[in-house]
Structure 1
Amino acid sequence: MSQYKAIILVGGPSRATRFRPLSLDVPKPLFPVAGAPIISHHLAALSKVNGLKEVLIIGFFEDHVFSRFIDEASNEFPHLHIRYLREYQSLGTAGGLYHFRDEILRGNPQQIFVMHVDIACNFPLNEMMEAHMKHRGLCTMLSTKVPREQATKYGCLVAKPDTHEVLHYVEKPETFISDLISCGVYLFDIAIFGEMKKAIDRKKDSQHEESDYLWTVSDDRLRLEQDLLRPLSEGRKLYVYVTEKFWRQIKTAGSAIPANAAYLEKQAQEHSDRLAQQKDDGPEIIGAVYIHPSAHVDPTAKIGPNVSIGPRVTIGKGVRIKNSIILDNVHIGNASCILHSVIGWNSKIGAWARVEGSPVADHNVAMMMNGVKSQSITILGKEVSVMDESIIRNCIVLPHKELKSSFHSEILM
């Protein structure tokens, strides 16, 4: 019997529209950040939790989407039993948990971790457990402080400073409440399923008051944040663990770049042997850089900081890359420069070309603001070719495009 189980909520294909054009070719949970799929960073953290043996991935992607990844992850984390459970339709962030409650409760775990997939974070799971064991509320949520002007984009909470008891929780409030936000990582006691049942009954009651015949099965959608956490905070059963370490949301395609940087910097602090080392006969490496063993980087190139280079990439003479993700099979011609960009699979960048985005503080901005392309990371979708000596600046380029001239601040369909 293991005391803990974990659930990673991955959503489904219709959700990741803000992650386009990258999600056209790979589902967001499997997009590589710092040389590994987003979801593998969650698994790496879970593998360090004592007494945790099983991880359930819940979403409504087709089964085959995760099958190869689960095979590979099971080899990488042999003591974790990893399975994918597919919802028959989108059930909401808590609906899937309730729908699969028998699977989750099998083996009598006492606590379950629940984490959203679209975040990058330090995952202080063992510390959350210690905090949870002290207060024994129904839920401990991971929380962090954000700049005041960004707070209303998230679930905000007010907590007692001494006991860490959450007094008030509001999802995306209209006015400023607090700079403490929910990170999308929770540790629940098993009794949470009783609270879910109450939440469903409350929803049914409010529906019945309006009209009996309007109630349909599709209203089984249950939202973790609004339908569950808010009542828990009112019932004084919700506690918070505040992390000082990094946390990033991965909503838009551009937000993959700061997530990539955060994970690479974390690996550098841990002196991970995954990172590229400066060698006499190799390229110049600045800061934290990941280069896949099958990539070929010319020794005259200068790479970093915060760069991930994927499998079978070829990088020519004198190339400069920083704050970027270069995906599988990309070819970058001599003397080109890539800054603050994601270069999609099988793309070709000519010689003396320049691809650059704008480093921005808030990566969850919409692509267009008032009809103008907002400043952001430049993203080339799959199989994009950029001609020699072209400059592509602050653009989003959809797959299979040939760019024969320079472009600035456009979405190229």
Structure 2
Amino acid sequence: MVLKAVILIGGPNTGTGFRPLTLDVPKPLFPIAGHPMIYHLIESCSQVEGLDEVLLIGSYQSDEQELKNFVSSVRKEFHLNVRYYQEFAQLGTAGGIYHFRDQILSNEPEAFFVLNSDICGEFPLTEMLQFHREKRQGADYHHKEVYTMLATEATRQQSHNYGCIVNRKETGEVMHYVEKPETFVSTSINCGVYLFSQHIFQHLSSAFKDKQSRPNFESKLPPTYRDESISLEKDLLMELAGTDKLFVYHTDSFWSQIKSAAGTIYANRNYLKIYRHKRPERLRSNTDHGPQIIGDVWIHSSAEVHPTATIGPNVSISKGAVIGAGARIKESLILESAHVHDHACILHSIIGRDSTVGAYTRVEGTPNDPNPDKPFSKMEVKGLFNSNGQLNPSITIIGSRVQVPSEIVVLNTIVLPHKDISGSEMNKIIL
């Protein structure tokens, strides 16, 4: 049976909370644990038997060179038919699926996965497919119109930040769904991973026609404008809940959203942990003539790391980066062609492409991890500023092509690309 996957990659006007990291690279291609964000999703899809086509849908320009190079690369590596389809406008989380329905339905797939691109985790897609097929063939559900969504647990306090699911424990049938409710609904939350049969397009068509027939009094656009966006969560899932057609598959494996720059540090740590258990050959180990490695570390083969440097835990060092003698790097991402000079210290930070950190300089951020004392706790996505107008402590981000001089301290600071720092900085945004 033919299976496909659709990955919703958004566009240049989405993911603004991810800046300045997206000022010189599309968010879906930002490297985490040595690979672009959506690489990890495609790798998960490639492990599903019978899945041979992945459609990337978004509003990035189709001639975006990095995106074209990425698509070509993953085609060869995973032997999948990977294609990018550009939306003519931002169509919401389901509008692109409906717009490119002919491409999705070609070769009559049994079902197709849909994944949001701003998530990371250990996705049980094969198990989810088996669950989906059991529901289609079950004695109590003779109809073949079955849809499955992936869910995990959150704390009661954090659940309102996500889509909340109420389901029958015995069957997994979704009885009620609310997107980011104002009051408590459930600790079971939507992971942004779905498995749909072809019948889903009947519901998408109804949602599209219904939206076109309703006047949008809140819109500032002219009355003749046709809003063709569809919300997967509000226009589809909420309608399917309680119809005996939508089911939930729960996972206890690692899962997180990547809504902010700080989320990349957390995602990097957990993907490296997955490497340790499933792809240990990707991690760097200690050798007689190499740097001291602590914990999980990924280093590109072209990076130059001095033997006296100490790296880790939870560090990724990208292509062409140079790490000097005695440097100390922990819980950080060093991006392509960055240069960390001798005895510099990098903690909880991102060093951008082609940036330089001078000798004996300390670059440090504040981690924003889930509360380890609360089961099912998730990352808090904080705004840049608190209620007093002060910058919230977070990771330090050195944008691309930034020169950080020697013998200074940079703490909890965001530096935009192509800027130079003249002295120590703390709790600032340098524009």
TM-score scaled by length of structure 2: 0.92
Shift of residue 199, structure 1, vs aligned partner? 1.3
Residue 395 of structure 1 is matched in structure 2 by 413
Residue 344 of structure 2 is matched in structure 1 by 336
Which of 383, 393, 406 pairs up with 2:401?
Answer: 383
Residue 74 of structure 1 is matched in structure 2 by 75
SS of residue paired to 1:228? helix
Which of 189, 192, 206 pairs up with 1:198?
Answer: 206
Residue 376 of structure 2 is matched in structure 1 by none
Residue 26 of structure 2 is matched in structure 1 by 27
Residue 430 of structure 2 is matched in structure 1 by 412
Shift of residue 254, structure 1, vs aligned partner? 1.5
Shift of residue 36, structure 1, vs aligned partner? 0.4
Question: Are the equivalent residues in 1 in contact too, given 2:262–2:367 (CA < 8 A)?
Answer: no
CA deviations on 1:394-413 (whole Å, 9 max, x unpaired) are 11111111111111111111
Shift of residue 209, structure 1, vs aligned partner? 11
- Counterparts of 1:265 and 1:91 in 2: how far apart (Å)? 35
Question: Are the equivalent residues in 2 in contact too, given 1:292–1:310 (CA < 8 A)?
Answer: yes
SS of residue paired to 1:197? helix
Residue 326 of structure 2 is matched in structure 1 by 318
Residue 104 of structure 2 is matched in structure 1 by 104
Shift of residue 216, structure 1, vs aligned partner? 4.3
CA deviations on 1:224-250 (whole Å, 9 max, x unpaired) are 111001101132321111111111111
Residue 381 of structure 2 is matched in structure 1 by 364
Which of 278, 299, 304 pairs up with 1:296?
Answer: 304
Question: Are the equivalent residues in 1 in contact too, given 2:55–2:84 (CA < 8 A)?
Answer: yes
Question: Are the equivalent residues in 2 in contact too, given 1:204–1:215 (CA < 8 A)?
Answer: no
Shift of residue 68, structure 1, vs aligned partner? 1.0
- Counterparts of 2:16 and 2:421 in 1: how far apart (Å)? 24
Shift of residue 272, structure 1, vs aligned partner? 2.3
- Counterparts of 1:19 and 1:223 in 2: how far apart (Å)? 22
Question: Are the equivalent residues in 2 in contact too, given 1:129–1:187 (CA < 8 A)?
Answer: yes
Letter in 2 for 1:55: V
Extract unaligned runs of 5+ from structure 1: none
- Counterparts of 2:425 and 2:147 in 1: how far apart (Å)? 50
Q: Which moved more, 1:290-299 or 1:151-160?
A: 151-160
Question: Are the equivalent residues in 2 in contact too, given 1:252–1:363 (CA < 8 A)?
Answer: no
Establish whether residue 284 from structure 1 lines up as the match of residue 292 from structure 2: yes
SS of residue paired to 1:389? coil
- Counterparts of 1:226 and 1:217 in 2: how far apart (Å)? 21
Distance 1:388 1:90, change over 3 A: same
Residue 277 of structure 2 is matched in structure 1 by 269
Shift of residue 277, structure 1, vs aligned partner? 1.2
Establish whether residue 139 from structure 1 lines up as the match of residue 138 from structure 2: no
Superposed counterparts of 1:8-87, under 5 Å: 8-65=7-64, 66-78=67-79, 80-87=80-87
- Counterparts of 1:209 and 1:232 in 2: how far apart (Å)? 26
Establish whether residue 95 from structure 1 lines up as the match of residue 108 from structure 2: no
- Counterparts of 1:299 and 1:196 in 2: how far apart (Å)? 57
Distance 1:214 1:328, change over 3 A: closer
Shift of residue 215, structure 1, vs aligned partner? 5.7
Question: Are the equivalent residues in 1 in contact too, given 2:135–2:146 (CA < 8 A)?
Answer: no
Distance 1:363 1:26, change over 3 A: farther
Letter in 1 for 2:148: T
Shift of residue 385, structure 1, vs aligned partner? 1.4
Residue 142 of structure 2 is matched in structure 1 by none
Letter in 2 for 1:165: E
Shift of residue 288, structure 1, vs aligned partner? 0.8
- Counterparts of 1:116 and 1:358 in 2: how far apart (Å)? 27
SS of residue paired to 1:149? coil
Shift of residue 201, structure 1, vs aligned partner? 2.6
- Counterparts of 2:214 and 2:187 in 1: how far apart (Å)? 32
Question: Are the equivalent residues in 2 in contact too, given 1:5–1:53 (CA < 8 A)?
Answer: yes
Shift of residue 208, structure 1, vs aligned partner? 9.1
Establish whether residue 185 from structure 1 lines up as the match of residue 177 from structure 2: no
SS of residue paired to 1:143? strand
Residue 6 of structure 1 is matched in structure 2 by 5
Shift of residue 217, structure 1, vs aligned partner? 5.2
Letter in 2 for 1:46: C
- Counterparts of 2:108 and 2:61 in 1: how far apart (Å)? 28
Letter in 2 for 1:93: T
Question: Are the equivalent residues in 2 in contact too, given 1:255–1:363 (CA < 8 A)?
Answer: no
Residue 352 of structure 1 is matched in structure 2 by 360
SS of residue paired to 1:94? helix
Letter in 1 for 2:296: A
- Tell me how many residue pairs correspond in the alignment: 410
- Counterparts of 2:55 and 2:352 in 1: how far apart (Å)? 30
- Counterparts of 1:189 and 1:217 in 2: how far apart (Å)? 31
Question: Are the equivalent residues in 1 in contact too, given 2:10–2:60 (CA < 8 A)?
Answer: yes
Shift of residue 202, structure 1, vs aligned partner? 2.5
Shift of residue 28, structure 1, vs aligned partner? 0.4
- Counterparts of 2:155 and 2:323 in 1: how far apart (Å)? 38
